Chains A and B, each alone.
Chain A
Amino acid sequence: MKKQTKAALFGLTLALTSALSMTAFAGDSDKVYRTVDEIKESGTINIGVFSDKSPFGYVDENGDYQGYDVYLGNQIGKDLGVDINYVSTEAANRVEYLKTGKVDIILANFTVTPERAEEVDFALPYMNVALGVVSPDDHVITSLDQIGKDDQVIVISGTTAETYLVKNNPEIKLQKYDAYAEAKTAFENGSGVAWANDNTEVIAFANENPGYTVGIPSLGSNDTIAPAVSKGNDSLLNWLNDEIVSLGKDNFFHKDYEETLLDTYGKDYEDTLVIEGGQPAEASTEAEAAAAETEAATEAE
């Protein structure tokens, strides 16, 4: 019975998987998202945000969502004239939420990358970000070469830091965590020699926790953070782009920064981090060239 059963089992699993994936292809063309009119009609918009990533998206002691991303979310709800249902997302499931239309917008510190742009549609950006690496004061890592072959670097699954290191430094051993809080606890307990994440994160972490230094403040290309909607949801995408441009006229995002980020990053980083009205301040030709390069590389793979 043994050999035959095993073969039969294997065959059955294969058949099941292929059947599932075929139906998956067939279902892809269906519209999963809701247009602006449909959202207004239902009276509620579903927005995916982080619930444990202060100061961008977190829950305060009264159970209310707060932060830089949430500040924008609240404004979107107000301008659409609908109630907001915030959904707690993790870095690793943000794309999935949009692909299934379970949320209308993701406002979870979502970095724009060419790979993600194939899966979701990004609106105009509202923040700048690069990668950074933080390490303990007694062994500051200022260059990736310093990471030995037995050392482990902590990353959060599904973040840009993970993608970047896997692609550009495959020799570095990564220790992956699903939630921000877990990664932080692991790093503080010394499970890894360094922690790679968005530079905003590591700068804030080092500011708040004495004994840690951001040895590498800017790694990789400069990226932007933008709201994202389901692929093909042009109605909501256009509405968001108009919203971001018109909010920029009132310096909305600087106000947002001063309300939510000032305590963490100080006045110095305001103009570096904030993008007002969807227009990155610095000339973005370099970033675009880099993005085009990555895109070409992805296609080649």
Chain B
Amino acid sequence: MQSLGLDVLFKGTNFLRLLEGLWVSVRISLISVVISILLGLVAGVLMTSKNIVLKAAFRVYLEIVRIMPQMVLLFIVYFGTTRVFGWNLDAEASAVIVFVFWGVAEMGDLVRGALISIPKIQYESAEALGLTKQQTYLYVILPQTVRRLIPLSINLVTRMIKTTSLVLMIGIVEVLKVGQQIIEANRRTSPNAAFGVFAVVFLLYFLICWPVSRLAGYLEKRWAA
């Protein structure tokens, strides 16, 4: 074990710091995911609208999210808004804004896809039963959409958790950064610590993401019918 450098994890409060870093990553992604899913549902419904202006606006939004690397978005939101508008956003708030900006677009697109995949006959039957447009969405379309959506959105959740590693660029010390700090602080005494520490960081990411993707698999199977 010595050669893997795992011993550095038990020096002082190192392991606790690593867990604190993990909590930072999880906290940022959890908050972002919840907001993204809620706003994404709305965005998805709007994306299916026939209004040309609305359609174009969402198209531009989606393209911006796809083209811009998250790192650039983080810099724009954290440093850019201070320069341009003088806002002093908290680093974590900036991170959440960027992840929500990304999440709503992707989630919206998923919702749009799921909505389109609902057969036309469902809308027609609802209409034949005398349901209003709102009722149709609330009782017929959305329940089916959500069912198709959950496996897809959980995939987005795990991707978000992994992408939180970028927030170290705006000064947030999350799990990966703590890992790097531990490796560097011990590079004279345990030059091989990199392997052990990164392995533990990998394990921590895995412990968070694995149950989430298992859940997706379970729901997918259960709702396959």
Residue A101 CB within 8 A of the other chain: yes
A28 to B86 alpha-carbon distance, docked (Å): 10
> Would you give the shortest CB distance from A32 to chain B, in whole angstroms?
7
Q: Does A60 contact B185, Cβ atoms closer than 8 Å? A: yes
Complex Cα gap A130–B63 (Å): 44
Task: Please name all residues of chain B whose beta carbon is closer than 8 Å to the beta carbon of A181 when the two chains form the complex.
Answer: 179-180, 183-184, 194
Known contacts A51-B173, A178-B169, A101 near B180 by CB under 8 Å: no
Residue of B nearest to A53 (CB): B184
Q: Using an 8 Å CB-CB cutoff, how does the interface string of B19-45 with A read, 1 for contact, 0 for none?
A: 000000000000000000000000000
**SS class, residues of chain B in contact with chain A:** helix
A61 contacts B by Cβ under 8 Å: yes
Could you say which residues of chain A place their CB within 8 Å of the CB of B83? 24, 27-28, 32, 99-100
Cβ < 8 Å to B, chain A residues 2-50: 5, 8-9, 12-13, 20, 23-24, 27-28, 30, 32, 48
> A5, A28, A52, A63: which has the most chain B beta carbons within 10 Å?
A52
Q: How long is the Cα–Cα vector from A8 to B91 in the complex, in angstroms?
A: 34
Interface residues of B in 182-211 (CB under 8 A from A): 182-188, 191, 194, 198
* Min CB gap A263→B, angstroms: 7
**A30 touching B86 by the CB < 8 A rule?**
yes
**What chain A residues lie within 8 Å of B170 (beta carbons)?**
93
Q: Is B59 an interface residue (CB 8 A)?
A: yes
Asked if B65 CB lies within 8 Å of chain A CBs, one says no
Residue in contact with B185 in the complex, picked from A54, A101, A188, CB distance below 8 Å: A54
For residue B214, give the distance in angstroms from its CB to the closest CB of chain A: 30
Q: Is B79 located at the chain interface by the 8 A CB criterion?
A: yes
Residue in B79, B179, B185, B191 whose beta carbon sits within 8 Å of that of A58 in the complex: B185
Task: For chain B, residues 1 to 55, give those with C-beta under 8 angstroms from any C-beta of chain A.
Answer: 8, 11-14, 17
- How many residues on A have C-beta within 8 angstroms of the other chain's C-beta atoms? 48
Q: For residues 62 through 88 of chain B, which have their beta carbon under 8 Å from a beta carbon of chain A? A: 63-64, 75, 79-80, 82-86, 88
Shortest beta-carbon distance from B18 to chain A in Å: 11
Residue in B60, B86, B173, B186 whose CB lies within 8 Å of A9: B60
Interface centre among B11, B181, B185, B188 (most CB of A within 10 A): B181
Are B84 and A23 touching (Cβ within 8 A)? Answer: yes
Among the 9-residue stretches A83-91, A231-239, A241-249, the one with 4 or more Cβ atoms under 8 Å from chain B is: A83-91
Do B56 and A8 have beta carbons less than 8 Å apart? yes
A96-B17 contact, Cβ under 8 Å, with A54-B184, A181-B194, A209-B191: no
Q: Mark A148-192, 1 if CB is under 8 A from B, else 0.
A: 000000000000000000000000000000111110110010000
A92 within 8 A of B: yes
**A54's contact among B8, B14, B177, B187, by CB below 8 Å, is which?**
B187
How far apart sit A179 and B60, CA to CA, in the bound complex (Å)? 33
Measured between beta carbons, the chain A residues less than 8 angstroms from B119 are none
Q: Does chain A have a CB within 8 A of B118?
A: no
Give the Cβ gap from B6 to chain A, nearest Cβ, in Å.
Answer: 14
Closest chain B residue, CB of each to CB of A209:
B191
Give a binary string over A85-118; 1 marks a CB under 8 Å from any B CB, 0 the rest: 0011110110011011110000000000000000
Taking a contact as CB atoms closer than 8 A, the residue among B11, B17, B171 that contacts A87 in the complex is B171
Query: Given that A9-B60, A88-B168, A92-B169 are contacting pairs, would A100 and B79 also be in contact in the complex, using a CB cutoff of 8 Å?
Result: yes
Say yes or no: is A62 at the interface (Cβ < 8 Å to chain B). yes
Q: How far is the CB of A235 from chain B (nearest CB, A)?
A: 20
Q: B60–A93 contact, CB under 8 A?
A: no
| With A53-B184, A93-B75 already in contact, 15 other A-B pairs whose C-beta atoms are closer than 8 Å | A13-B60, A20-B80, A24-B80, A27-B86, A32-B82, A32-B86, A58-B181, A58-B185, A66-B185, A97-B79, A180-B184, A184-B187, A185-B194, A208-B187, A209-B191
The 12 sampled A-B contact pairs (Cβ below 8 Å) are A12-B60, A32-B86, A59-B181, A59-B185, A61-B14, A66-B185, A88-B168, A93-B75, A97-B79, A102-B171, A181-B183, A188-B194
